[in-house]
Amino acid sequence: SRHEALIEFSNRHYYEGRLHVFPSAARKVDHLGISWHPTPGGIYYSAGGEPKTLERTNPKEAQALVDYLAARLLATRPGERSFGVVTFALGQQRAVQELLDERRAEYPDLEAHFTGDEPVFIKNLENVQGDERDEILFSIGYARDQKGRLRMHFGPLSHAGGERRLNVAVTRARQQLRVFSTLTHDQIDLSRTQSIGAAHLRDFLHYAAVHGGEETASPASAKFNSPIE
């Protein structure tokens, strides 16, 4: 990790602060750390709803991610910076893949980023372990459904030990993690779930919003013993 924000959350939640992390020269850098990409108004089409083709997807969030990624790829020389996409749900992975395939057909110049030593990948929480790229785009996906309801169940994250999957997902980036999310931390009601994974997701969304510039907070690492420090 080239920026402390990329490992600080996991260090606190999973490694009991045992990792010794070099502090970054600047808390906020355009090409490093955590970036927050809110996508308000997105709908998560849960299983069993209509239309069936949109089950377990958040189309608006997938579109926002692909719009951003395609623009970045077109503006980046192949081999200069590697990219990957991580989603929570398999349905969202497929939605992103389909939209990106359309862009690849429209812009042949994108193809150079899908070959070589570190091609662009699109994976879900279940199969991303071991992968890493310079920049990771993370789609949360979950949001209110077509009827305005928000379930406090977040797929494999809500199962026993599911919080470890979140740790894997948020530590795939060497330089920058971009979080695309309709869901915000204050929408997760911990009185409606006992899941540790849900609690960690709530904390992570707040963390991403703070480090991404959406909110302000005084990080623990900013408490010093003297003015000169």
In this predicted model, what pLDDT tens digit does every residue of 9-55 receive, in sequence order? 999 999 988 988 777 777 777 889 999 999 999 999 987 766 778 88
- Burial (CB < 10 A; 0-12, 13-18, 19+), residue 77, is exposed
What is the model's pLDDT at position 46? Answer: 84
What is the model's pLDDT at position 22? Answer: 78
Q: Please state, in angstroms and rounded to a whole number, the distance separating the CA atoms of residues 146 and 90.
A: 19
Q: Where are the alpha helices (DSSP H) in 129-195?
A: 163-169
What is the model's pLDDT at position 219? Answer: 44
Q: Please state, in angstroms and rounded to a whole number, the distance separating the CA atoms of residues 33 and 137.
A: 12
- Give residue for tokens 């309801």: 149
Helix (H) or strand (E) run with residue 66 in it:
helix 59-75
Give the sign of the dihedral formed by CA 162, CA 42, CA 183, CA 191: negative
Residues in the chain predicted with pLDDT less than 70, given as ranges, are 49-50, 213-225, 227-229
Give the sign of the dihedral formed by CA 90, CA 88, CA 131, CA 74: positive
What is the model's pLDDT at position 218? Answer: 41
CB 78 within 8 A of CB 111: no
CB 136 within 8 A of CB 173: yes
